[in-house]
Chains A and B, each alone.
Chain A
Amino acid sequence: MYAYIVKRVLLMIPTLFGAAVLVFFLLRLLPGDVCEVRLAGTGLYADPRDIALCREELGLDDPLATQFVDFVGGYLTGDLGKSMWTGQPIEYEIGLRFKLSLQLAIMATLVAVAFAIPLGIISAVKQDTWIDYAVRTFSIAGIAIPSFWLGIMIILGLLIVTQKLFGAGWMPPINYVSPFEDPLGNLAQLIWPAVATGYRYSAVATRMTRSAMLEVLREDYVRTARAKGLVEKLIINRHALKNALLPVVTIIAIEFAFLIGGLVVTEQVFNLNGLGKLFVDAVGNQDFALTQQLVMLVVLIFVLTNLVIDILYAWLDPRIRYA
């Protein structure tokens, strides 16, 4: 098992290098650069000498090979560089947003799991009853409704309902506070995007749990357990659920990885200062340095998540052994 993990970790290096090459050169294909956006983006006169100076300062005039070596070499020296837009170290820019994105991903996952597992099980156990139909409708709606639209509806709903009830509209705070400083304020801000994204996430996981459970419930060992006279609760929890969880865990883990860097629109809707919003800003500002490090971070998260899933498989199903 350890040898397998080491092998997988080593395999991450060419994967990450390939991603680095792709992101670096694809970004350079885009016309325009951060200096144009920064100095001429307001329509006021921009002195070409200032634009040239900005390019020189940021190393945009250096040969591509030099820029690439600087970028990749940064991983060896532990220096990820500075944002071309703000001039701040990239570790600082990402670190600031990472905690919010991580907290939101965890909260959305909790919301999703809290709904998906019980609903998926009930739906499978009560297959083709009105309960099953209700759960399926709920989950199909969750897949069909975009999270950002649901987010907008939640905000508008809160504003309208609170205005009707209390005479003044209330909306979630638009500025992040740490859960350690103000837990209620933090919850007031993040619970709504967690619900908006968690609903779609739970819908996907509910359907996966239902189909996996249906498959497992038809297995011989489940029939045997029933024939032995085991109580249904034990059969579901001990024999069926654990075996049915393998694909569900995969879905949950991949969705979790996606949530950390991929909540681009939802973060905008709720004005969350997370990695998704930083991504949009970095691309919009042509901040190559920050964009490429963000892409690399997302790649790293996905690669690590896949590794964790594989290890979890072995724990969930003792028959799985990695050579």
Chain B
Amino acid sequence: MKCFNPRIAIAMVIGFALGLGAVASVSAAKAQKGGILQFVVAGESPSKDGHRETTYATIHPYAPMYSVLIRVNPDDPQSSDFVCDLCKGKVPKPTEGDTKYTFKLVKGVKFHDGTPLTAHDVVATYKKIIFPPQGIPSARKAFFKMVESVTAPDNHTVVFKLKFPSGAFLPALATPYNWIYAKKDLDEHGYNWHRDNVNGSGPFMFVQHQPGALVEGKRNPNYHHKGQPYLDGFKALVAKKMSVRIQAIRGNRAAIEFRGFPPKARDDLVNALGDKLKVQESDWNCSLLATPNHKRKPFDDARVRRALTLAVNRWEGSKYLSKIAIVKTVGGAVFPGHPLAATKEELTQLAGYGTDIEKARKEARQLLVQAGVSNLTIDYNNRDVDQPYKVVGTWLIDQWKQVGLNVKQTVRPTPQFYANLRKSHENDVSIDFNCQSVVNPIADVSKFLCSAGNNYSQCEDPELEAIYDKLLRAASEKEQRSLMRQYEKRALDEQAIMGVTLWWYKINPHRAYVKGWKIAPSHYLNQQLDNVWLDQSMM
């Protein structure tokens, strides 16, 4: 039997407190200057261009080299507040019927090559992101469907005009990939120049990139947030194997990994390093889904899909899986804890979320009988990645067996997994996920819409589309909340378009001498590192 370890408990309590923002942030006055932060990254970015890439492996090494217009508050990344980075003062309120946003820029900002940053650079950047010329990819242009125009009436003012009021605009603007490029670079070198080159205005300047090995940055002495950054520089070391990343922290070859480790790794590190380690934990804006293929019989029948979700004991699963995998929180379609998310009472009204699992499984068996399904074997597509796919996938197989379903799981490497999920659809049910950066429930839940490009269930449900349409236009939070419940009921219960298994849980154990960095609900957020510092006395 595992004994209670007070060191783990203390570290976790401190970590939780930090993660939830319950402890007042260490004041900037205490921050020490100097030092090189070494961190490990589990992947390598295909290019240096944030506008075209979608992986966190682009964000972690290159976001510190760029500024953005607005961002998630680096001192309180758990909040849904946005703060200005390049804009002055507070994030502006919309005018003209909530269709116009006017941003005043901080003066005196310079790109790393010395070029002054003006509103024309911001406009050129957003035109590239929102209205890219033909042949230029922009991974997030769909986020800005509401934008009619971006203009610069003068050198320090940027105006976004929207086609219609939208609560999704500011979160889209705060997406951490929206790095501001110099208009001069775009004009002179073309829209592909940033694939291989860096010229930002962020806290750190590009030093070198050794493909497959590291990205190095050094302090930008002209950074516009005075007094920052605290670090002399950073090195982002590529280490794809998790054991290497864990050992790197243990052996002090790296101080932190920003994506997240499973609980076992946290416990091992806490045991090995004791008070030299700090653990920050947070709910993660990623949910793991089970997506039925609506074009395959009998999964075209909502009763069968409901049976799949009814069979899953999420509350018990959370208790055990959270000890071995990067999942924990039971939640619906909306990021848990958000004002628009279902309360536990509301959740328990949904199929598969009740607290009486025997009752739910009895109903599941009855639904299967009503649908004329007996001795069904599910052809189940999973991804060849341990955390959390294979771990949760194995658990799901057991859950479905509890209602008499057989499962034939095919675990495929990532490219083949996606080819199957997105194109060939040679499965009955597939593991799937919904991972977002800025917490923006109204946009995030669009994954469940049958018309969504990243909904791979091949479903059709005009009623759900109609509810979403109303949700998009809902003005008050109360109305949004009410519509969100209808949407959730339709998507997760009545039609069981997809099943949410559990929400991911982010665990970041790091060397205790790393200060200032606060865990965010996404591994994409809060990565500019301008407020991070190293406590030399603890090194």
Contacts and interface: CB of A to CB of B under 8 A. Distances in A.
Q: Do A and B come from one complex?
A: yes
B211 A163 contact: no
A97 B212 contact: yes
7 contacts: A31-B416, A40-B54, A43-B286, A174-B248, A176-B210, A284-B413, A284-B415
A159 interface: yes
A159 B251 contact: yes
Interface in A25-42: 30-34, 36-42
Interface in B391-406: none
A286 interface: yes
Contacts of B251: 155, 158-159, 169-171
Interface in A86-113: 86-88, 92-93, 96-97
Report the 8 A-B pairs with minimum CB-CB distance, sorted nearest first: A171-B251, A32-B419, A32-B415, A31-B419, A50-B137, A273-B212, A45-B454, A286-B415
B454 to A, nearest CB: 4
B47 A86 contact: yes
B137 A54 contact: yes
B243 interface: yes
Contacts of A269: 241, 243-244
A270 B253 CA distance: 12
Contacts of B248: 171, 174, 271
A141 interface: no
A46 B253 contact: no
Nearest to B135: A53
Contacts of B423: 31
Interface stretch (B5-13, B433-441, B476-484): B433-441
Interface residues of A, number: 54
If over half of B's interface residues share one DSSP class (helix, strand or loop), that class is named, otherwise mixed; here it is mixed
B422 A31 contact: no
B310 interface: no
A43 B137 contact: no
Given A47-B142, A278-B212, 15 more contacts: A31-B415, A31-B416, A31-B424, A32-B416, A32-B417, A38-B53, A44-B139, A47-B453, A53-B135, A97-B212, A171-B248, A174-B248, A175-B213, A273-B210, A286-B415
Given A87-B196, A163-B272, A169-B272, A96 B141 contact: no
Name the residue among B253, B417, B424, B436 with the largest chain A CB count within 10 angstroms: B253
B254 A174 contact: yes
A44 B415 contact: no
Contacts of A169: 250-252, 272
B458 interface: no
Nearest to B437: A44
Interface in B236-280: 237-241, 243-244, 247-248, 250-254, 272
Contacts, number: 153
Contact of B419 (A36, A96, A173): A36
Contacts of A62: none
A23 B244 CA distance: 31
A174 B214 CA distance: 10
B418 interface: yes
A210 interface: no
A215 interface: no
Given A36-B418, A268-B241, A43 B212 contact: no
Contacts of B416: 30-32
Nearest to A44: B54
B452 interface: yes
B237 A45 contact: no
Nearest to A158: B251
B414 interface: yes
B254 A268 contact: no
Contact of B54 (A41, A97, A281): A41
Nearest to B54: A42
Given A31-B424, A40-B418, A174-B244, A53 B250 contact: no
B56 A42 contact: yes
Interface in B23-50: 40, 44, 46-47
Nearest to A274: B212
Contacts of B414: 37, 41, 284
A175 B250 contact: no
A101 B252 CA distance: 25
A207 interface: no
B244 A271 contact: yes
Interface string A114-157: 00000000000000000000000000000000000000100110
A45 B433 CA distance: 11
Name the residue among B56, B239, B247, B452 with the largest chain A CB count within 10 angstroms: B247
Nearest to B253: A174
A85 B414 CA distance: 15
Given A174-B254, A269-B241, A45 B55 contact: no
B250 A39 contact: no
Interface in B194-218: 195-196, 210-214
B420 interface: yes
Interface string A39-76: 11111111110100110000000000000000000000
